[in-house]
Amino acid sequence: MKRAIILFLLIALLTSTVGTGTAKIYYLAYEPPPDDLPRYFGAIVDLSIFDGSRPALAVQEIDIPVPFAILMEKDTGTVLFEKDADTQTAPASVTKVMTMLLIVEEIVAGHLNLDDMVTTSTNASQMGGSQIYLKEGEQMTVRDMFKAITISSANDASVAMAEHLMGSEAAFVARMNQRAEELGMQNTLFLNATGLPAADGRENLTTARDVALMSRALIRHDLVKEFSTIWMDTVRDGEFGLSNTNRLIYYYDGATGLKTGFTQEAGHCLAATAERDGVEHIAVVLGGETSENRFEAAKALLSFAFANYTLVDVQSADALHPIRVTLGAVETVQPVLQGAERLLMKRNAAARVSQRIEMVEIVHAPVTAGQILGTLTVYDGETEIAAISIVAADDVAKLTTGQMFEKFMRYLFTGGL
């Protein structure tokens, strides 16, 4: 099937180059490929690394050809595998995960619209590396700028967007570092919005763990996946082609993103995300010696996660019934589970899951929202694997003296409160 698809693409490529009088579309190859790998629309593909028939490994058997890596489940943040995940290294264009996050957050907050026009400055037009060759003064929508950043890692578009949002790249970088601190990225320092080496030769620094944290924040926004899952597209009314630098988007089942990177100092880097059956994982690999190394490592990590883990919904077998409130302005308060309602578990343990609820029968007013009323404990056989607090959903005020007197009189004359 894969060979048939490839043959079709080759035919399409050949026929598209025949002179028809239509505008010509240019597709960029962003990294120099090995000579022995075939080209398909600017992408260099070694099909063997995407062979889904390979058996999944046990965690102790994982041996990936990169120095820094981490595997994290999105919903719970559970780390399933790590390799020197806290060692600082240059991330190259994986830096743009933070650039993309700040753009998306501005859109979600309503401060930025995908149809807004962005004007390219002299500075933005002079960026090297991967780019869409923006000209000074050229205008492009936020949609197309973001598309170019996400799909083709365009440095000029990254700087244009940074300047559009914050007035200067320096101000944008300050916000990048502030957001990194907010996300708990303890070992990260951004110098620019692109991941390119600075004029003095220094590069942005981060860790595999920190990249996973910002990737997790980004993929919580479905908007980014409308762009990061695109294999090929165009800007400038179809005249300039974009091909995704992340080959997993085309070949790996469930791939949702996210960002590649390469410099001589950083090596070949990748923040890869994929989702199957409602479970999404993040695989970060940094410092690969070859492009193939990073894709093979990320695929191995993601396949391990999908083969061995699943999310289990945690909820009461029976509905959590309202709890009586004594001397309360209302008679009952509704208990709810606090925090995550899904647990990441090994697939072979999911069938053994059981749970026990311990909860008070009566609570005295006043009650505050979030007040602990009990615990839901989850077991794998006889082993406790999670304890989730059951809390009050709302505040319940205590009856005033006048309200108590009124209740007493009602009881006195009617025989009930």
- Active site residue ranges: 93, 96, 153
Rounded-to-10 torsion of CA 294, 300, 303, 307: -160
How far apart, in Å, are the Cα atoms of 165 and each of 36, 136, 142, 174, 319? 43, 17, 11, 12, 47
Would the CA dihedral through 110, 115, 121, 126 be positive or negative?
A: positive
Report the C-alpha gap between 343 and 310 in whole angstroms.
Answer: 8
State phi, psi for 321 to the nearest 5 degrees: -80, 150
Q: Is 100 exposed, middle or buried (0-12, 13-18, 19+ CB in 10 A)?
A: buried
Axis crossing angle, helix 155-166 with helix 142-152, rounded to the nearest 10: 140
Please tell me whether the peptide bond between 366 and the residue prior to it is cis, using omega within 30 degrees of 0: yes
What is the token pair recorded at 242?
A: 């974009």
Residues in contact with 10: Cβ distance below 8 Å, sequence separation at least 6, in sequence order: 40
User: Which H helix or E strand runs over 228?
Assistant: helix 222-228
Burial of 94 (0-12, 13-18, 19+ CB in 10 A): buried
Dihedral sign for Cα 46, 50, 56, 61, please.
positive
Is 36 exposed, middle or buried, given 0-12, 13-18 or 19+ CB atoms closer than 10 A? exposed
Q: How far apart are CA 212 and CA 78, in angstroms?
A: 11
Q: With 0-12 CB in 10 A as exposed, 13-18 as middle and 19+ as buried, what is 14? A: exposed
3-state secondary structure of 343: strand
Query: Positive or negative CA dihedral for 34, 38, 42, 46?
Result: negative
246-to-73, 152, 215, 273 alpha-carbon distances in Å: 20, 9, 15, 10
